């Protein structure tokens, strides 16, 4: 998702490419962050780890068990 945000900002994604919905929306909902706020944060720069830390600070930090369950859910969704 972060790579898509960066590529879109560089004009390297088709205009109709899905952003902020589907997988992106589920991740944002899981972390309790709004997609537009995440986009703004990504565009200010920083590593993926720094952006994840920002999500934990401005949204929520799920437990290891919640992450395991969420990852399993996404794997089954394809």
Q: What is the pLDDT of residues 9-62, one digit of tens each?
A: 999 999 888 899 999 999 999 999 999 999 999 999 999 999 999 999 999 999
Question: Which residues contact residue 70 at a Cβ distance below 8 angstroms, ignoring those fewer than 6 apart?
Answer: 30, 62
Residue 78 has pLDDT above 90, yes or no: no
- Residue 3 in 3-state DSSP? helix
For residue 16, what pLDDT is reported?
86
Q: What is the pTM of this model?
A: 0.91
């Amino acid at each position: 998702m972060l790579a898509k945000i960066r590529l879109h900002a560089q004009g390297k994604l088709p205009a109709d490419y899905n952003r902020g919905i589907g997988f992106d929306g589920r991740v944002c909902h899981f972390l309790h962050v709004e997609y537009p706020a995440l986009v703004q944060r990504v565009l200010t720069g920083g590593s993926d780890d720094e952006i994840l830390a920002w999500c934990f600070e401005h949204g929520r930090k799920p437990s290891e068990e919640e992450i395991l369950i969420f990852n399993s859910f996404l794997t089954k969704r394809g």
